[in-house]
Copies of this chain bind each other. A is one copy, B any other.
Amino acid sequence: MKINGVPYRTIWLNDDGWSITVIDQTKLPHRFETKELKSAEDCAEAIRTMTVRGAPLIGATAAYGFAMALRDDASDEALEAACKMLGETRPTAINLRWALNEMASAVRNRPREERVAAAYKRAAVLCDEDVETCRRIGENGLKLIEQAAATKEKGETVNILTHCNAGWIACVDWGTALAPIYMAHDKGIPVHVWVDETRPRNQGASLTAFELGAHGVPHTIIADNAGGHLMQAGEVDLCIVGTDRVTANGDVANKIGTYLKALAAKDNGVPFHVALPYSTIDWTMKKGVGMIPIEERSPDELLKMTGRLPDGSLATVEIAAPGSPAANPGFDVTPARLVSGFITERGLCHASEAGLLTLYPEHKPK
C-alpha cells in the first residue's frame, strides 16, 4: 500500500541480496523510519521489541532471520538452533512457528552448500504468498461489507469496528482485517472505521489510524472502552479483527481486549468476523480457551507512554501512580461461540471445526 503516494511493503530484501529492511513500527505514527536487519539475532530482536509486529510480518521476518542464520552456519545443528531462537521471540502467534517450519522444510533435505540460496528463495516466496493471501482475504471479506451496505440506504456509510492493527503493516501488504476495508473503500463503498486505541501499546491509535489515514479511509479513534456503548447505540454495523492463532475448534487468540468486543457484539446482534490466513490456524490445538499460551509483556508498556512534544520531538512520560505495579497480558482468547465467521484466503466459513474443514478439507482427521 502507499505512504505519501509511495508504494511500500513492510519488509524487503536489500540490494546486497542478503540483508533486509523493515519499517520500524516502534517509531510509528510519529516518525516514518526504516531499519536494516543483518543477522538472525537482529531479526529476533526486531520481533521481540516489536520493531516488526503482526502475525504474518513476524513470520516473514523470522523467515529471513532463518536464512541469515544459515549464512553463518548451514549445519543441521545451526538450523535447529535458529528455529529455536527465532521461535521463542513471541509465544502466541502461530505464524511464527509455521514460517520457521516452512523454512526448515525447504532446506533440511538439501546439501549444506545449497541451503542458503534455498532459504532466501523460500523467504521471498513466503512474502509473495502472504501478499496474495491477504489480497484474497480482502476479496472474500469485501462480500460481507457489500452485504452490510445492501441493508442500508444507498450511499449510507458502513461502520466497521476493528481492534489492534491487522492492516497491511501487520503483514507484507494488504493486511488481514483491513484488506476488505481497503477494497470496499477503493470500490467506492462508503466505509468508516471505528479504530480501537488498543492499549497498552496503542497499535490502533498509532498504526491502524496511521495506515487508514495514509490511504484516505475515513476513521475515528476510540478508547477500547467505547465499543460496547457504540454497538448498543447502533453505530457499528460489523466488527472485523485479525488473529494470532485460531485453534481447530475456532477459538481465536488475538490482542488483549478482543474478547470484550466479541461479547459486546454478541449482546447487540452485531456480526463479529475474524480475518486470517491459513497459516494462523493451529490444527494441533483442539481448543483455545485456557490452552493457548498468553504472553505476559512488560509493565512499562502500560505505565509509560511515548508521544510527540509540542516542538515535535519525542518523549516518554510515566502516566500511572508512582510505585503502583502493573500486569500486562498481551492476548486473550475469544471462544468460537462469539465469532460470527472467519474470512480466509479460501472464502468465508463458520467459526467451528466443521466450518474450517469446509475450506480446508485436507485437514480432516483421517
Binding site for B on A (CB under 8 A): 28-29, 194-195, 197-200, 202, 205-207, 209-210, 212-213, 219-230, 232-233, 255-257, 259-261, 263-264, 267, 289-290, 294, 299, 302-309, 314-315, 317-329, 331-333
In the complex the two chains form, is A321's CB within 8 Å of B228's CB? no
For A261, the chain B residues whose CB sits under 8 A away are 260
| Distance between Cα atoms of A13 and B100 in the complex (Å) | 68
For A309, the chain B residues whose CB sits under 8 A away are 315, 317
In the complex the two chains form, is B206's CB within 8 Å of A223's CB? no
For A308, the chain B residues whose CB sits under 8 A away are 317-319, 322
In the complex the two chains form, is B259's CB within 8 Å of A221's CB? no
For A202, the chain B residues whose CB sits under 8 A away are 319-320
Minimum Cβ distance to chain B for residue A31 (Å) = 11
Q: Copies per complex?
A: 2
Contact check: which of B220, B305, B320, B322 meets A319 at CB < 8 Å? B305
In the complex the two chains form, is A260's CB within 8 Å of B264's CB? yes
Minimum Cβ distance to chain B for residue A206 (Å) = 6
| Distance between Cα atoms of A219 and B321 in the complex (Å) | 11
Q: A197-B302, A232-B333, A332-B229 are in contact. Are A327 and B222 (CB under 8 A)?
A: yes
| Distance between Cα atoms of A307 and B228 in the complex (Å) | 28
| Distance between Cα atoms of A267 and B223 in the complex (Å) | 22
| Distance between Cα atoms of A16 and B218 in the complex (Å) | 55
For A315, the chain B residues whose CB sits under 8 A away are 309, 315, 317
Minimum Cβ distance to chain B for residue A186 (Å) = 20
Task: Name which residue of chain B comes closest to A261, CB basis.
Answer: B260
